[in-house]
Amino acid sequence: MSTPDVGRSMIDFASDFMPALAAATGVVRANRRLDGVRVGVALTLEPKTACLVEAIASLGADVAVLGSSNSTKPEVAAALAETGVKVFAEKGSSPERSTELREAFIDHQPELLIDDGAFIVRRIHEQRRDALPSLRGVAEETTSGVRPLRNMAAAGKLEVPCLAVNDARTKLLFDNVYGTGQSVVMAILDSTNLQMQGKVVVVVGYGKVGRGITSMARSLGARVIVTEIDPVEALAAHHDGFAVAPLMDALVDADIIITASGIGHSLIADHVAAMKDGAIVAVGGAGPPEFDPTMLGSLTEPLVWGETVRDNIQELKVPGGNTVFVIAEGHCANTSAGEGNPIEVMDLSLALQMRAIDHLAASDLPAGVHLLPKEIDDEVAASQLAAAGLAFDTASDAQIDAAQAW
């Protein structure tokens, strides 16, 4: 099969497992708000997001997509390009070329933008203000993007309405927990061919992603140590039966270290020097600089990248000291050393994205960060339950009264 055909086949396979997206697309199609609208999609470019892109295009929108150099699936990009979608994504592109692609994507002047990590919306606010007047709204996919948007809003610097799609319950409780949990752990096992049984795994951060990763790792037989900066989350990890320790202490015994903090500089060179020789480092939260080996801390000499010993596994050496193995150069392991989150989980997240841009197109929200309406959240969850043949209960009048009593 040719490259685009392989991509087409993978997109179609994914589409068969995405009933919530199909339902959301049906709702949005009836609303007829996206016809002729310029929509920019800046998500990891792979079969599931391609399903969203094609669904948006099928509603008459003029769609452009941006994909990163490390996580773009070339066969999927090729298949999308064949359908007339404007694709700005080249696997393995140089930093210069990646910048060119990003700027060309912004040149498309999206009216509605689906952003991931707030990279494009920040770029537009800071360097590409020419694209700001036409931008009507942004739907943000991830925790590490919602945070800077809230910071911008607090500083009075956010000039467009942004929907924190990430914060929808149907996103946060599923994509971040089950999706990233499974896909990060599987990417580590697939890259290394190692076993999880008996491994000492340190997970940095016990938010939604950290919870998913710890649970999956423990399911496969690992002993997990959680490190946290938030005492409440640390206490929660303790109650879930995990060891809790300061990162510097936990590292010493770790076979595998996984960051899930979503915050830059959570794991730095200092930490690498404290690891066991041969330890494996993977990033599960946000990409660089969550793991930042260039930040030396108390070290005096910089770390040195060594050989690529297997696909997606590179040595990182402490001069005169230990060598550790880093997965995907510190990019998110699940998207860079794997195929990203499972299809059925992304079905929920991308269905929410579909409903989010429709909501942005319909409403006249002021600049700032907004939550997706609860009804949309509930409808998307219910649509996947229905597809699985599962029913749920409705509150009785007495229950509603009781819940509203005071």
Residues that bind other proteins (CB under 8 A): 1, 6, 9-10, 12-14, 16-17, 47-48, 178-179, 182, 186, 189-190, 192-198, 216, 218-221, 278, 307, 309-310, 338-340, 342-345, 388
For residue 310, the minimal CB distance to other proteins (Å) is 6
How many other CB atoms are found less than 10 A from the CB of residue 31? 13
- Comparison of 344 and 377: residue with beta carbon closer to other proteins: 344
Q: How far is the CB of 389 from other proteins (least distance, A)?
A: 10
Rounded to the nearest 10 degrees, what angle do helices 119-126 and 143-154 cross at? 30
SS3 374: helix
Those residues whose C-beta lies under 8 Å from the C-beta of residue 284, and which sit 6 or more positions away, are 180, 184, 203, 209, 210, 213, 258, 259, 260, 332, 333, 334
Nearer to other proteins by Cβ, of 166 and 191: the residue is: 191
Tokens of 387: 């597809």
Residue with Cβ nearer other proteins (343 or 351): 343
Strand, coil or helix: 353: helix
Least distance CB 80 / other proteins (angstroms): 17
Amino acid in the structure at residue 260: A
Residue 381, both tokens? 């969850």
From CA 296, how far away is CA 145, in angstroms rounded? Answer: 26
Least Å distance, CB 9 to other proteins, is 5
CA-nearest of 292, 286, 293 to 262 is: 286
Residues counted in the chain:
406
In angstroms, what is the minimal distance from the CB of 73 to other proteins? 11
Least Å distance, CB 11 to other proteins, is 10
Nearer Cβ to other proteins (81/189): 189
Is 12 or 233 the residue whose CB approaches other proteins more closely?
Answer: 12
Which of 311/393 has CB closer to other proteins? 311
Burial pattern 302-341, b for ≥16 Cβ within 10 A else e, equals: ebeeeeeeeebbbebebeeeebbbbbbbbbbbbbbbbbbb
First vs last C-alpha separation in the chain: 65
Q: How far is the CB of 76 from other proteins (least distance, A)?
A: 11
Cα–Cα separations (whole angstroms), residue 267 to 179, 201, 226, 257, 373: 23, 15, 14, 9, 36
Residue 10 CB, shortest distance to other proteins, in Å, is: 5
CB closer to other proteins out of 103 and 190: 190
What is the 8-class DSSP label of residue 332? Answer: B
Token couple for 217: 């790792």
From the CB of 332, what's the least distance to other proteins, in Å? 15
Name which of 106 and 257 has its Cβ closer to other proteins: 257
CA angle 26, 28, 30 (to 5 degrees): 70
Give 14 or 226: the residue with its C-beta nearer to other proteins. 14
